[in-house]
Amino acid sequence: MRLTVFNGSPRGKQSNTKILMEHFSRGFTENTGNTVEVAYLNQTGETERYVELFKKAEHIILAFPLYTDAMPGIVKHFIEALTPAAGGKENPSIGFVIQSGFPEPIHSRFVARYMEKLAKRLGCPHTGTVIRGGVEGIQVQPPWMTRKLFRSFYRLGVGYAAAGRFNEEIIRKLTPRERMSFGRRLFFRLLNLTGLTNMFWNMKLKENNAFEKRFAHPFKEF
């Protein structure tokens, strides 16, 4: 089985999406003879090549992070470039992986519905949609905190190799709660009072020389 993974993260090879899909790919290829080709949508000037990859693919997974309750712009650009291929009789099957920093999967439900409609419009058999929240910190978390998540994506890959689609039981286990519990919401409210919840983002702002502009209102100024 040949699988083409389109990574729609603006971070590309430095992304959390890449990490999750590496574990999936290991399960998909291990002892199977299956192959995985990865295309990074953040690479400029490659749109035509990506469209050709789509046309020649056997199975596709489009994986990306949630950006403002939707897909990143590079994913939308890729989708629009696929318009000429819509409805093709030999179009590949397609599945989706949507990950986000939000711990609540409810944030990703609307874009997931959009993706399911997209599969129909393209004429691609839909092999399922995986939603996973709380992903943002996986690159700095110790192994004991990510072991279960990575194992789940590995098992998703094994299941995909066997059935040609995502395993619904594993999908459900990846989203045990649609919303955070009251206790967890209360914890975050208390944590927010300490300033710790902004520590990571403040660090990123400082790295990009934007910390002093964090309260700017650029549109209001016009």
The span from the CA of 162 to the CA of 5, in Å, is 17
Return the number of other C-beta atoms located less than 10 Å from residue 150's C-beta. Answer: 17
* Residue partners of 120: CB distance under 8 A and separation at least 6: 126
Helix pair angle (47-56, 73-81), 10° resolution: 60
177-201: per-residue pLDDT in tens? 877 677 766 777 787 788 777 887 7
Token pair of 212, please? 């002093």
Q: What is the pLDDT of residue 221?
A: 62
pTM here?
A: 0.87
CATH 3.40.50.360 in the chain: give the residue spans.
2-178
Better-scored residue on pLDDT, 188 or 53? 53
| Mean pLDDT, rounded, of the chain | 92
203-212: per-residue pLDDT in tens? 888 998 999 9
Q: What is the pLDDT of residue 201?
A: 79
- If phi > 0 it is left, if psi is from -120 to 50 it is alpha, else beta; for residue 28 that is alpha
Rounded to 5°, angle at Cα 88 from 73 and 161: 75
The span from the CA of 172 to the CA of 186, in Å, is 25
Q: What is the pLDDT of residue 188?
A: 72
Q: What is the pLDDT of residue 4?
A: 98
10-48: per-residue pLDDT in tens? 999 999 999 999 999 999 999 999 999 999 999 999 999
Q: What is the pLDDT of residue 219?
A: 77
The span from the CA of 156 to the CA of 147, in Å, is 14
CATH topology of domain 2-178: Rossmann fold (3.40.50)
111-142: per-residue pLDDT in tens? 999 999 999 999 999 999 999 999 988 998 99
The span from the CA of 166 to the CA of 153, in Å, is 10
The span from the CA of 219 to the CA of 119, in Å, is 36
